[in-house]
Amino acid sequence: MGDETATRELPKAYAPADVESAIYDRWLAADVFAPDGAGSRADQSKKPFVIIQPPPNITGALHLGHALTFAIEDAMIRHARMQGRPTLWLPGLDHASIAAQYVLDKIIATEGESRESLGRERYLERMWRFINETREVMLGQERRLGASADWGRLRFTMDEGSARAVRVSFKQLYDQGLAYRAEGLINWCPGCRTSVSDLEVIPTPETGTLWSIRYHLIDDATGKPSPTETITVATTRPETILGDTAVAVHPEDDRYRTLVGRRVRIPFVDRDVPIIADDVVDRAFGTGAVKITPAHDKDDHATGQRHGLPMISVLADDASINEAGDGYTGLDRYEARKRIVADLDARGDLVGSKPHEMVIGRCQRSNDVIEPRLKTQWFIRTDPLAASALRATRDGETRIMPARFEKVWENWLTNIHDWNVSRQLWWGHRIPAWYCPDGHVTVSAEIDGPARCETCGRAAAELRQDPDVFDTWYSSGLWPFSTLGWPDRTEDLRRYYPGTVMETGYDIIFFWVARMMFTGLQFMDSAPFETVYLHGMVKDPYGQKMSKSKGNIVDPLEAIDRAGADAMRFALLNGTSPGNDQKFSNERLEDGRNFANKLWNATRFVLGARPTSIAADAARRAPDEADLGPAERWIRSRVAATVEVVDKAMGEYQLAEATRALYDGIWSEFCDWGVELAKVRLADASLPDATRQATWWTLVEGIDTFVRLLHPVMPFITEALWASLPHATDDPELLIVASWPAGGRRDAAIERDVDAVLELVRRIRNARTEAGIETSAWIDAEVAAPSGLNALVTELRPQLERLTRVKATILPPDVARKDVPGAVSVIAGGLEAYLQPRQDPAVAARERERLARELDVIEGRLASAAGRLADEAFTSKAPAHVVEGARRSHAELEAQAASLREKLAE
């Protein structure tokens, strides 16, 4: 700050909106977010700290889950920045292919348009218009949350950098045989008109109907269906009869053993298909015979492959029956189902129907019932990729936090299926594959596509590009390096890859985290991050998932308007643990605001208590050692204790622990005791200037330290307070780049001794209440302190008096107290106090009751302590320090009991 030590006056009342509005722009202007920004004070020789952030979907407003992610990431990055490390938080937005189309489709529907009415080109134009609007809204929200990301590097997963990475990576995968095109059974969403990955299919319990249907066996002699010889199968989807190519029974099912090898006629399509034996069939279910539709069921598909069955598709893109469905062609799947059931009934082949509890797959996006279908698509071979990912976590190259997710990770990666990446959507990265009229495939990483067919050399003009786009997560999966210039070997890549912490919700561990691991290991030869930090979900106050349909969404901006971004960040971080869900409530938000208010006022008090002998614009300096009293030394030591806890917690990414320690340290220790103790000296005009200055500087030092420690969690208020504090000459103008507090000086002896006095204060307050002495009345008291504490108690007498409202006489050690009748006695460790209220028989009576109660408690504890020490097993097996501690506390209890008995005997 140089010579410019002028500080800003703090407004009387804490108003989050006023505090927060100006500060973000000051950070931006100072250029402190970039790892090498002009205002950065990073030591460029230190290892950079890099956060990998899940780029939010560019589909609209941020929700509380985003706010949590940003709060965590921002706290981490600010902490690292204050430690002097170059920090990179590369912000971004995801084009969210299917999600964006879903949202836009709804919007254009209100405009009377549709995908079809606009056509691909105009639809995409409309999409760009839409995302250009949401982009600004979202970035504005991120700034209000306080995100200190490097905006100069903002990336969008549809920009050319990403596009190039997509093309190049896919070409490489193809060349290495890890990407292939094949006909496979895929999950089709009729609403979205695209295939979706297994992860996007939500198993949903529903009550359906199980129909039993009779198929007629073919009479071997006549080659015609027998009117009487039948086999009954059960199905929940009668319309798939049209695609049946077999009936299966269990090989050891005696009921059907003789039928295996015979043929049955499929109704309506009049196809004769075999009865096969396969142990996939559950004899106990239904009739023990199952119809096989390989083109429209996962199990049946596998069965079909095992038995070389034909696969007949009967569904069109809109889930209507296609031309293979003979008389039902063109009917919607559910209409066809109804008609087929009725027609079966008319034929007399419907045996029965009953309600059936089942699990049905629905589209994560549109909630439509997913239909398995055969399609020729692009797939990524996942086995080798999953193996590398597993190796990385097993070797410890990447650590997952909390560790229990390693099990989930292992389980998923060891049972993984190939990844279908083709999407029949328009918004997204077009698959860089071209087909020539002869069916040859050419994959090209060139932006303009291949010059000719790789196989037959036909010219580009004759080639046709695959109309499909990639699954959104394909480009997201390239994020950690595509954002740093890959495939070029850039300086950024060398410096910032791999990242330090990848932070995200546990809900996208498979979608995103696993895929980044795949691609990082494949293309960069090392895992993309050292630590995977997974946070939980933010639920409503009743533990329900927040969703638009439930109407229980909390808008982070509303929360900020109500209590400030600092309060919201505090609420999201405090009292939570990594990987666990949290309920967000107004109460927790208020906690955060109250805490901010407390710190604000404490700072205001300290600044206002500046002794006149210190100039208003004096540079901050450490208090002179010789002028510190026990209270000051205690304060300093306790502040150092908070530094220790917070420093350790932040180092382990235990943000909740750090937050809690700060709340306690600032409120329960510094404000409740430190400031109150300090007030005595500050107000005492009879003291030398040097003494009062030392007290004040001690408080300033405390605030200074807390403001630094709290900055990662509550950046705005701390930055505002920083501006009003006196500073040392090497302090920067802005707290955001100030140094993280070094471990301070702990003083175990002073902590122990002053704590004893504070305990006496608590006991005296307690005794006053119990004895019914008015809180406002000043009373006399004698205080007895052993020689070890006598000098300290004498020195702290004014503080003791102020905090307890007693006029205290400190007895010299070993001097018996004057026996005053009616005195209320208090014992705290080695210290004792005798309160002398005005004569009041009621007080005396209550006092005897209180003493008796206390003796009761003490004797109870004494008995258990004695029992423990008498137990030979304990004394011989427990570690020495534990036994020693037990002895000490036993002795103390005994002394207290003796003293109480003596008083009661009076």
Partner RNA sequence: GGGCGGUUAGCUCAGUUGGUCAGAGCACCUCGCUUACACCGAGGCUGUCGGGGGUUCGAGUCCCUCACCGCCCACCA
- 191-230 residues in contact with RNA (CB under 7 A) are 198-199, 203
* Minimum gap (Å) between residue 407 Cβ and RNA: 5
Find the binding residues for RNA in span 515-574 (CB under 7 A).
541, 543, 545
The DSSP secondary-structure symbol of 436 reads -
- Of 48, 60, 575, 830, the one binding RNA by CB under 7 A: 575
Are residues 41 and 772 in contact, defined by beta-carbon separation less than 8 angstroms? no
Is 24:143 a contact under the CB 8 Å cutoff? yes
Give least dist CB 672 to RNA, A: 4
**598, amino acid identity:** K
Interface residue with RNA among 53, 235, 420, 522 (CB under 7 A) is 235
Q: Which of 111, 587, 617, 902 binds RNA (CB under 7 A)?
A: 587
Q: Is 667 in the site for RNA (CB under 7 A)?
A: yes
CB of 3 to RNA, least distance (A): 29
Rounded to 10°, the helix 715-722/689-710 angle is 150
**Least distance in Å: CB of 893 to RNA?**
9
Among 460, 553, 878, 895, the residue binding RNA under the rule CB under 7 A is: 878
For the chain, helix (H) and strand (E) counts, in that order, are: 27, 29
| Of 430, 495, 583, 621, the one binding RNA by CB under 7 A | 583
Name 69's bridge partners.
none
Interacting residue with RNA among 95, 115, 164, 237 (CB under 7 A): 237
- Cα–chain-centroid distance for residue 709? 21
Per the CB < 8 A criterion, the answer to whether 79 and 712 are in contact is yes
Q: How far is the CB of 332 from RNA (least distance, A)?
A: 19
Task: Quote the least distance from Cβ 195 to RNA, whole Å.
Answer: 16
Per rule CB under 7 A, count of chain residues that contact RNA: 87
**Region 81-100 residues binding RNA, contact defined as CB under 7 A:** none
Residue among 466, 389, 590 nearest 167 (CA) = 466
Strand 201-219 with 194-196, pairing: unpaired
By CB under 7 A, tell whether 877 contacts RNA: yes
Q: Which is nearer to RNA, 335 or 644 (CB)?
A: 644
Q: Which of 114, 305, 580, 729 binds RNA (CB under 7 A)?
A: 580
Show the beta-strand stretches assigned E in 421-489.
422-423, 433-435, 441-443, 464-465, 469-470
The number of angstroms, rounded, from the C-alpha of 790 to the middle of its chain's C-alpha atoms is 52
In angstroms, what is the minimal distance from the CB of 234 to RNA?
Answer: 5
Q: Does 358 bind RNA (CB under 7 A)?
A: yes
Per CB under 7 A, does 14 bind RNA? Answer: yes
C-alpha dist (Å) from residue 755 to 182, 637, 744: 74, 12, 19
**Minimum CB distance to RNA, residue 625 (Å):** 26
CB atoms within 10 A of CB 867: 10
Sketch the per residue contact string, 668 through 707, with RNA: x for CB under 7 A, - otherwise: x--xx--xx--x---x------------------------
Task: Give the residue, chosen from 97, 148, 398, 576, that forms a contact with RNA under the rule CB under 7 A.
Answer: 576
Q: Which of 367, 526, 769, 787 binds RNA (CB under 7 A)?
A: 769
Least CB distance to RNA at residue 860 (A): 13
Angstrom distance (rounded) from CA 894 to CA 906: 19
> By CB under 7 A, is residue 794 in contact with RNA?
no
Among 80, 98, 234, 559, binds RNA (CB under 7 A): 234
DSSP summary character for residue 460? G
Q: Which of 43, 282, 438, 856 binds RNA (CB under 7 A)?
A: 282
CA nearest neighbour of 390 among 370, 418, 412: 412
By CB under 7 A, tell whether 765 contacts RNA.
yes
For RNA, the closer CB: 343 or 644: 644
**Residue numbers 602-661 binding RNA by CB under 7 A:** 602, 604-605, 608-609, 656-657, 660
Is residue 211 helix, strand or coil?
Answer: strand
Residue 210, CA distances (Å) to 172, 191, 220, 352 in order: 48, 25, 30, 8
Which residue in 322, 794, 809, 889 binds RNA (CB under 7 A)? 889
* 577 belongs to the binding site for RNA (CB under 7 A): yes
Decide: is 594 part of the binding site for RNA (CB under 7 A).
yes
> Mask: binding to RNA, 288-307, rule CB under 7 A, as x and -?
x-xx-----xxx--x-----
**Structure tokens belonging to residue 750:** 């002073």
Question: 135 or 583, CB closer to RNA?
Answer: 583
Q: Is residue 60 a contact point for RNA (CB under 7 A)? A: no
Residue closer to RNA (CB basis): 154 or 886: 886
C-alpha 165: how far from chain center: 28
Closest distance to RNA from the beta carbon of 762 (Å): 4
Q: From CA 50, how far away is CA 52, in angstroms rounded?
A: 7
Point out which span in 697-705, 786-794, 832-840, 876-884 binds RNA (CB under 7 A). 876-884
Residue (114 or 411) nearer to RNA, CB: 411
User: Does 731 contact RNA by CB under 7 A?
Assistant: no
Using an 8 Å Cβ cutoff, are 382 and 418 in contact? yes
Nearer to RNA, 127 or 827 (CB): 827
Q: In the sheet where 464-465 sits, what is the strand order?
A: 441-443, 433-435, 464-465
Q: Nearest Cα to 475, choosing from 157, 17, 85, 250?
A: 157
Question: CA–CA separation, 411 vs 509, rounded Å?
Answer: 12
Residues 407-426 binding RNA (CB under 7 A) are: 407-408, 411-412, 415
Q: Which residues have a Cβ under 8 Å from the Cβ of 108 and sit 6 or more positions away? A: 114, 115, 118, 123, 126
Binds RNA (CB under 7 A): choice among 5, 172, 226, 236 = 236
Segment interacting with RNA (CB under 7 A) among 109-117, 170-178, 664-672, 718-726: 664-672
SS3 per-residue string spanning 570-614? HHHHCCCCCCCCEECCHHHHHHHHHHHHHHHHHHHHHHHCCCCCC
Shortest Å, Cβ 903 to RNA: 19
When the beta carbons of 199 and 524 are compared against RNA, the nearer one is 199
Q: CA geometry: angle at 156 spanning 152 and 159, to 5°? A: 105
Q: In the complex with RNA, which residue's Cβ is closer, 627 or 657?
A: 657
Using CB atoms within 10 A of its CB, is residue 778 exposed (0-12), middle (13-18) or buried (19+)?
Answer: exposed
For position 510 contacting RNA by CB under 7 A, the verdict is yes
CA 783, CA 767: separation in Å to the nearest integer?
A: 14
For the bound state, the minimum distance from the C-beta of residue 218 to RNA, rounded and expressed in Å, comes to 22
13 binds RNA (CB under 7 A): yes
Contact window for RNA (CB under 7 A) among 232-240, 392-400, 624-632, 707-715? 232-240
User: Closer CB to RNA, residue 83 or residue 597?
Assistant: 597
Distance, in Å, from the CA atom of 353 to the CA atom of 357, rounded to the nearest integer, reads 13
Q: Using the rule CB under 7 A, which residue among 456, 690, 882, 891 binds RNA?
A: 882
Q: Which is nearer to RNA, 37 or 592 (CB)?
A: 592
Q: In the complex with RNA, which residue's Cβ is closer, 104 or 241? A: 241
Q: Are 42 and 86 in contact (CB under 8 A)?
A: yes
522: left (phi > 0), else alpha (psi -120 to 50), else beta?
alpha
Per CB under 7 A, which of residues 390..409 are in contact with RNA? Answer: 404, 407-408
Residue 668: CB minimum distance to RNA, A: 6
Least separation in angstroms between CB 675 and RNA: 4
- Cα separation, 398 vs 389, in Å, equals 9
